Structure 1
Amino acid sequence: MPCNSSDHSGCDHIVDEGAEMSLYSQIDLNSTTCLNAENEESFNDIFKPWDDRFDTTKVLKSDADEQLIMYIPFTSSVKLKSIALLGLNDDSQPRKLKVYINRQDVDFDTVEGIEPTQEFECLQSCPQGAVPQYLTKVTTFTNIRDITIFVPGNFGADHTVISYIGFKGEYTEINRDPVITNYEIAANPADHKHKFEVKTKNLI
């Protein structure tokens, strides 16, 4: 549930100012997609190094309505521990996140019929200089190759605006080297039949 208390007790998020375990370098920025973005090319602008998390010069804005579907693949196998999200601290902030793991079939035609892996109620605003971290069920969020995030609505604005998304957790490099197998081919007597017959003929 949304939390406005100072201690955030009973919430599924924490306000975390650290950069430990950032998975920014593991995002496959060449393969991300976003549905209903005003400018799809702006999607990757919200994935930023931790030091640039408060930069709002480049943001992601929804187009036709307030909904967004964001697909984020990773270059490694990931254990995801939290998702960080920042907007503009106003009504355009996402109200809820629905997260799906290891699925590439989530779009606006299918999303309502697919059970999310986990849902998060988002903060409309947070203290200056802090970033909400929405905590995952770590036992479920393991061996992740990609996640899809559905934003079904915001706090009342016509469009949703996101300035930063970050991920924290652990990752394991995926071995992409080709596997080379050597086969030992047994000699086939039929392959040498002609030579044997020629040699025998010469001896007659």
Structure 2
Amino acid sequence: MSHNCENEHFEHNHNHEHGHEHTPPMETSSVQSLFQYIDTAKIRCLNAESVNIPSGIAMYKVFLKPQSEKDDCERYLQSDTDCQMILHIPFVGTCKIHSILLRTNGDDDSEGELSSPKNIKLIKNYRGNLDFETIENFKDHHTVESPQTDMPVSDIVEHHLPKNNSWYCDSLYLIFFEDNWSSDEDELCRLYYLEIRGEFLGISKSREQVPLMTVYESAPNPVDHIKLESEQTHINMGL
């Protein structure tokens, strides 16, 4: 485990294909943000709701914020029925991903029913039907461990991807908040800020041929994800 600085950079990555990464992480900077290359109109989310979003503002802006607003924690994305949450973020072309920066919630008793996210799966170029059961059992992924904090809001934490793995994303990029530090699946998680850093390599010719499939339950069942996955309705976070 090593710590660098964004507000805080945290490195505790588990690569399920190539083992642990032992070489020092690549230094990144804010100029490598891929913010402008995200296809915001096609962002999707499962088991999540936006909080404190002004009327008329696109819903994805609760967590995809310009760097000038990265410390704004008044608006955020929160998991809906339990601690799990999936973000589906497409790019307008091919990108090479270096790292992902996240600001999440901590274990603050005053907030109630919240726990710090723990394991977060990162999946590139996923083209299957999007549901929790499939994602939980999906083998081709990279997992990062988010640090636990007793503060209401965590620092911004940078999770570096392994240098020995080619993280080229030509269409789809998934982020799966899998569990939390309390091991209580009924406790919710929040995402205040997300930034992806890397290189934009150009427009992918095949990108528009890939269908985008998601599911979302408009009236969540707090018991489990079974009803969530069976409703098969959509949420478009870009409109």
Tell me the TM-score normalised to structure 2 length: 0.62
Match in the other structure for 2:20: none
User: Given the superposition, is the C-alpha separation of residues 9 and 59 from structure 1 closer, same or farther in structure 2, using an over 3 Å criterion?
Assistant: closer
Q: Which amino acid aligns with 1:161?
A: R
Find the structure with the greater CA-based Rg.
1
1:151 matched to 2:177? yes
Match in the other structure for 1:162: 191
Structure 2: which 5+ runs fail to align?
14-23, 52-57, 108-113, 206-239
Identity of aligned residues (%): 26
What do residues 72-110 of structure 1 show as CA deviations (whole Å, max 9, x unaligned)?
Answer: 000121000000000133353321111111013231131
CA contact (8 A) 2:64 2:194 kept: yes
Alignment of 1:1-204 (within 5 A): 11-12=12-13, 18-39=29-50, 42-90=59-107, 92-105=115-128, 106-125=130-149, 131-138=156-163, 139-156=165-182, 158-174=187-203
User: Given the superposition, is the C-alpha separation of residues 93 and 43 from structure 1 closer, same or farther in structure 2, using an over 3 Å criterion?
Assistant: farther
CA contact (8 A) 1:42 1:59 kept: no
What do residues 138-196 of structure 1 show as CA deviations (whole Å, max 9, x unaligned)?
Answer: 432024322111111122371111101100000022177xxxxxxxxxxxxxxxxxxxx
User: Given the superposition, is the C-alpha separation of residues 9 and 99 from structure 1 closer, same or farther in structure 2, using an over 3 Å criterion?
Assistant: closer
Q: Which amino acid aligns with 2:162?
A: K
CA contact (8 A) 2:78 2:191 kept: yes
Match in the other structure for 1:187: none
Q: Which amino acid aligns with 2:123?
A: Y
CA contact (8 A) 1:94 1:153 kept: yes
User: Given the superposition, is the C-alpha separation of residues 25 and 122 from structure 1 closer, same or farther in structure 2, using an over 3 Å criterion?
Assistant: same
Residues 71-80 or 156-165, more deviating: 156-165
User: Given the superposition, is the C-alpha separation of residues 159 and 77 from structure 1 closer, same or farther in structure 2, using an over 3 Å criterion?
Assistant: same
RMSD between aligned residues = 3.5
Residue correspondences, number: 174
User: Given the superposition, is the C-alpha separation of residues 53 and 9 from structure 1 closer, same or farther in structure 2, using an over 3 Å criterion?
Assistant: closer
SS in 2 for 1:94: coil
Q: Which amino acid aligns with 1:141?
A: W
User: Given the superposition, is the C-alpha separation of residues 9 and 73 from structure 1 closer, same or farther in structure 2, using an over 3 Å criterion?
Assistant: closer
Give the Cα separation in 1 of the matches to 2:37 and 2:139.
26
CA contact (8 A) 1:74 1:145 kept: yes
Match in the other structure for 2:21: none
Match in the other structure for 1:182: none
User: Given the superposition, is the C-alpha separation of residues 151 and 8 from structure 1 closer, same or farther in structure 2, using an over 3 Å criterion?
Assistant: closer
User: Given the superposition, is the C-alpha separation of residues 94 and 113 from structure 1 closer, same or farther in structure 2, using an over 3 Å criterion?
Assistant: same
User: Given the superposition, is the C-alpha separation of residues 100 and 67 from structure 1 closer, same or farther in structure 2, using an over 3 Å criterion?
Assistant: same
SS in 1 for 2:89: strand
Tell me the TM-score normalised to structure 1 length: 0.71
